Structure 1
């Protein structure tokens, strides 16, 4: 369980000054310690909840652009700050993010940043913070950015940037650019309750502009994101939040006929509920995930008024949860680096290390091998990741199919993207969706005499 982040001194904090100090502490925990940004923002320590939108914008934005901002701070600071005062480094980063990417007037950013030193018990640093930010405002257009390392110029860690460039030498610039954009809020309509056209009309009648997704027949994207509890039909189960690329998985699974279907690694339940919405009349659907994650699946099922067989268990150990009935279709959305969803989770830039891809590769290969034993002859496994790295995608499939002659890779037919050796890759921003990989593998029917 993650510990709550260190609280700043609220006695000397007023409004946005307190917010800026809190953001600096969150960014420090993400960048220096690799903690989850989403978890740190679950219960922000804010005296006024009206400041939460600005708080989240500064936290996500500073994490998104920190490698780039950090280069400027290296130019602005005569020497690195002492480790015990490193929080000031992040306070300055938050200030530069506001100057460059928010509508806050420059003078207000300086006043808030200087005031935030009191909230951080660093009153002695008022002149330092004021001086550094003033120098930035004066000199920012004069720095020779050609000297900036390429990975920092594109606001990425060196490891991730080099890996993207190596895997996608002709497309790496469009990938990192898309990964630094704000993600859209995409919804999936529940066709059992309404139609996409009707859902779009309802939102437009409530002054929420939206447009149908290009590739998913059940999706639409809001022009301006809003809290989900403000979306008409969300609480009634008429729509769900789900990225367009994630919506496409259920369409490729070929669930025609009376089939036994498994959604492995199912939490939080977006794909499970989509499968039920599409195929509940003729399919039996089971969702399995670790016990600690099953609550999320139940919550999504309850909101949508749906039912599924939810099983707590480790996909790699089916003997502890499988009832022995083979599955005709298995959707395996494995844990991965998340390199295709960095625009939604900028903390991935700091949480992923060079050895992680090999660890994920081993985990993914073991999961694929485990669910293969549960598949009925003639059945299909759809292997899915939200990664853009070959090590987690085609390399996993190559390793798996080399271990037996009872596995046939089939062409992806309903998902647009970039064809790879074995599957289909959607890069971040393709069709406004996240980066996803899909590979479909069929187990041949047994021949007579076996």
Structure 2
């Protein structure tokens, strides 16, 4: 009997933003302006105007929190006076930890340190709310407030124009929504297992800076994993940037042919890097500027597909270049680069299990997670020829999509021959077939040309 495979359930997002707040004054003034700005930018926001509030969260509200991509928590002095709001915050922080929900705090007329340590007038209000509450619940509330205050957010006292702050928050949220992608494509790669392992290695709760390597062979899914990690955690940092090989190539193009450690090339590369992470064009004149500008910034930096030690030394010479709590992630297939840079925290990306490999293949070959009954043996053998390598599974599955059973059999017979024993040859064959507009690769007589 054929074995069936199913994918893990993906989250269904009904809202882009869930706002958490306390008080009619906040609703009528700041929040109404913010929601109007969201509406103008077509950002779908949960609105609870007609909901009756009680001491416990209603199931509909918990579902709304869970099904929102971003939670914007507007903290005023009165926020801590509400058991409802504090329980709401617990639900939001759980979603952040379990699903990577983006959380953006807005400190409205409030010092973030008072939230972090529950001090000042905010602390007094909080203590009054905690009266007659279970000790375990009070501990949970304190932990949630402290974690929230450690997230990069917006402080109204730093703005002389509330309208500008509202506009900036809406622009920031809009940008984050562009980064958040459907989990459907991620789940098929077993992304949650990778996220759990990397979360332990990165230890986001630690205030110490850390460099981490993501290591693996070509096609194993390193960039897919890195992108998902960046999308989920970039909101926790003051500045974040994802540097790929294309960025490095463009930045170094004008110095093609220069010696590997040309000083001007190094300056130019750092200049482009700083401009990218700080969001404005810069001109620098010495190589110590990266450390000077970023040593007080909590940053998240991804250096993807890195094969050049010079680039790593130039952009992230040491973790001391960056502020407390910074994370630098280097994605490479070269363990030597990581060792040479003193990076000991390394996540080696494993190949997917046989069951997951078949799911990846079937998602691309049949647009579902399992093969039709009469294709089970053919699909299993095809996935085996891809060596469980995600890139091979995707390319081979895409090539075979919509083909007749006889074509599958002819192709597998060809793959059993010695010249197609390596995954590189199979990938070459499939790439050529996918790129051939006339699809001549369907015919066995064309295969000998490869």
Fold in common (TM above 0.5): no
TM-score norm. by structure 2 comes to: 0.25
- More helix as a share of residues: 2
TM-score norm. by structure 1 comes to: 0.25
Greater Rg over alpha carbons, structure: 2
